[in-house]
Amino acid sequence: MAVERTLSIIKPDAVAKNVIGQIYSRFENAGLKIVAAKMKQLSREDAEGFYAVHKERPFFKDLVDFMVSGPVIIQALEGENAVIAHRDLMGATDPKKAEKGTIRADFADSIDANAVHGSDSVENAAIEIAYFFGTEVYSR
């Protein structure tokens, strides 16, 4: 087992639903520690840079529009196998396909407004944590 860090975002739909605390409880109950956190209104530049890997995808403009539609909460989580543990808590990208009891099954409305983001690998976690918090947060 490896102690990892991962980047989590509570997206504008979930912030607007007032479920930040419920989502944080799920992290804590799963043994994931919040080691950095901030609320931020993303600029278009922030959102476009963060999702740059998707810039050729048909949903890119809608994704950016959604991510700047209200404030988000961004956090770095730390724990045993944090990347996979967090993805398991989140559930599938499309909430209709997400397992019962996952964050997306319980709080997301659609594949576009799907409540949360989570890094998909340890390598991307390092890049994404540095994107929002700088490199000093990632190094333990």
Name the binding residues for ATP.
Answer: 11, 59, 87, 93, 104, 114
Query: What string marks each residue from 9 to 48 as x (binds ligand UDP by CB under 6 A) or -?
Result: ----------------------------------------
Closest residue to ligand UDP using C-beta atoms: 93
Place of tokens 């278009």: 44
At 117, which helix (H) or strand (E)? strand 116-118
CA-CA-CA-CA torsion for 116, 103, 87, 35, nearest 10 degrees? Answer: 70
DSSP 46-87: HHHHHTGGGTTSTTHHHHHHHHTSS-EEEEEEEEETHHHHHH
Neighbours of 81 (CB within 10 A): 16
Q: Which of 117, 128, 132, 138 is catalytic?
A: 117
Query: What string marks each residue from 111 to 130 as x (binds ligand UDP by CB under 6 A) or -?
Result: xx-x--x--x----------
Specify whether 54 is catalytic. Answer: no
Is 63 a binder of ligand UDP (CB under 6 A)?
yes
Which residues bind to ligand UDP, rule: CB under 6 A? 59, 63, 93, 111-112, 114, 117, 120
**Which residues are known to be catalytic?**
117
